[in-house]
Chain A
Amino acid sequence: MMTSLLRALLLATLLVAPTIAHAQFGPPELIEAAKQEGKLVFYSANVAESEQPVIEAFNKRFPFIKVEFLRAPGNQLIQRVKTEAAAGKLLADVVDHSDRALMLEIADLFQDYAPPNAADYIPETRASPKLWPRSTVVWAIAYNSELVKDPPKSWADLTKPEYGDKQIGQVIAPSGGTTWTRAMFERQVLGEDYWKKQAATKPLLFPSNAPTSDALVRGEISIAPLLYNAIFPKLRDGAPVKVFFAPEGAPVTPFAAGITKTAAHPNAAKLFMNWCLSEEGQAFMIKEIGNLTSLKKAPLYPEGFDPKVVKVWVPNYDQFVKLQHDWIEEWNKTYGYRQ
Chain B
Amino acid sequence: MRALAGWLWSAALLLILSFLVLYPVAMLLLGALTNTNPVVDGFGVYDISLKNFIAVLGNPNVLLALANSLIVCGGGTLLAVAIGLTFSWVVVRTDTPCKRFIAAASLIPLFVPPLVAAVAWSILASPKTGLLNTLLASIGITWRFNAYSMFGLIVIFGIYYAPYVYMFTASALRNMDPALEEAAEISGATPIKTLFTVTFPLIAPAIISGMLLSFVVMLGIYGIPAVLGTPADIPVLTTYIFKLTNWSPPLYSTAASVAIILMIVTGFLVFLQQRVVSGRSYITVAGKAFRPGVMRLGPWRWFTLALAVVYLVVVVVLPTLALIVAGFRKFLFIRSIASLFDMKQYSLIHFERLFDNPLALRSIVNTMEVGCITAVVGGIFAFAIGYTVNRTKARGRRGIDIISTIPVAIPGLVVGVAYLWAWIGLPGGLYGTIWILALAFIARFMPDTIKALSTSMLQIHRELEEAAWICGKSLLGTIRTIVLPLARPGVIAAMTLLFILAIRELGSSLFLYTSNTMVMAVLLLDYYEGGNVGITAAFSLVQTVLLAVLIGIAHLLSRGRTDSSSVGRAG
**Chain A interfacial positions (CB closer than 8 Å to B):** 41-43, 47-49, 52, 56, 68-71, 73-76, 78-80, 82-84, 86-87, 89, 91, 99, 102, 144, 146, 174, 176, 204-205, 207-214, 217-220, 230, 234, 237-240, 338-339
Contacts and interface: CB of A to CB of B under 8 A. Distances in A.
Contacts of B511: 76, 80
Given A214-B533, A219-B333, A82 B37 contact: yes
B425 A87 contact: yes
B250 A338 contact: no
A78 B252 CA distance: 13
- Most chain A beta-carbon neighbours within 10 Å: one of B64, B515, B535: B515
A78 B249 CA distance: 9
Contact of B526 (A48, A68, A87): A48
B247 A75 contact: yes
Nearest to A207: B230
B190 interface: no
Contact of A48 (B230, B510, B527): B527
A82 B530 contact: no
A41 B332 contact: no
A326 B426 CA distance: 39
B431 A338 contact: no
B330 A238 contact: yes
Given A75-B248, A83-B424, A99-B248, A239 B333 contact: yes
Counting chain B CB atoms within 10 Å of each CB, the highest count among A56, A89, A176 belongs to A89
A232 to B, nearest CB: 12
Given A52-B356, A75-B246, A102-B248, A218 B332 contact: yes
A240 B331 contact: yes
B49 interface: no
Nearest to B425: A87
B432 to A, nearest CB: 6
Contacts of B515: 41-43, 68-70, 91
A99 B510 CA distance: 21
A73 B525 CA distance: 11
Interface of B: 37, 39-40, 61, 64, 126, 128-129, 230-231, 233, 235, 245-250, 330-333, 335, 349, 356-357, 359, 420-421, 424-425, 431-432, 510-511, 514-516, 518, 526-533, 535
Given A70-B514, A82-B37, A239-B333, A339 B529 contact: no
Contacts of B40: 82-83, 86
Given A47-B530, A69-B515, A214-B533, A237 B335 contact: no
Contact of B248 (A70, A74, A207): A74
Contact of B37 (A79, A234, A338): A79
A91 to B, nearest CB: 6
B363 to A, nearest CB: 12
Nearest to A212: B531
Which of B39, B335, B349, B421 has the largest number of chain A CB atoms within 10 A? B39
Contacts of A52: 356-357
Nearest to A56: B356
A230 to B, nearest CB: 7
A211 B37 contact: no
A211 B359 CA distance: 21
B331 A239 contact: yes
Contacts of B359: 48, 69
Contacts of A234: 331
A114 B424 CA distance: 32
A208 B529 contact: yes
Contact of A174 (B128, B230, B247, B356): B247
Give the one of B230, B235, B535 with max A CB within 10 A. Answer: B230
B530 A48 contact: yes
Nearest to A66: B358
Q: Which 8 residue pairs across A and B have the least CB separation, nearest first? A: A210-B531, A47-B530, A214-B531, A70-B515, A68-B515, A87-B424, A86-B40, A87-B425
Given A41-B515, A79-B37, A91-B432, A218 B333 contact: yes
A144 to B, nearest CB: 7
A75 B249 contact: yes
A53 B498 CA distance: 37
Nearest to B128: A220
24 contacts: A48-B359, A48-B527, A49-B531, A49-B532, A49-B535, A52-B356, A68-B515, A71-B526, A73-B529, A74-B246, A79-B245, A83-B420, A87-B424, A89-B424, A91-B432, A204-B231, A210-B531, A214-B532, A220-B129, A220-B231, A237-B330, A237-B331, A240-B331, A338-B235
A240 B335 CA distance: 11
Contacts of B535: 49
Contacts of B235: 338
A83 B37 contact: yes
A218 B533 contact: yes
Contacts of A218: 126, 129, 331-333, 533
B335 A75 contact: no
Nearest to A80: B511
Contacts of A87: 39, 424-425, 431
A212 to B, nearest CB: 7
Given A52-B356, A69-B515, A47 B333 contact: no
Contacts of A239: 330-331, 333
B374 to A, nearest CB: 22
Nearest to A172: B243
Nearest to B527: A48
B124 to A, nearest CB: 13
Nearest to B510: A76
Contacts of B248: 74-75, 78, 99, 102, 174, 176
Contacts of A217: 331-333
Given A47-B530, A52-B356, 8 more contacts: A83-B37, A84-B431, A86-B39, A210-B529, A212-B531, A238-B331, A240-B333, A339-B61
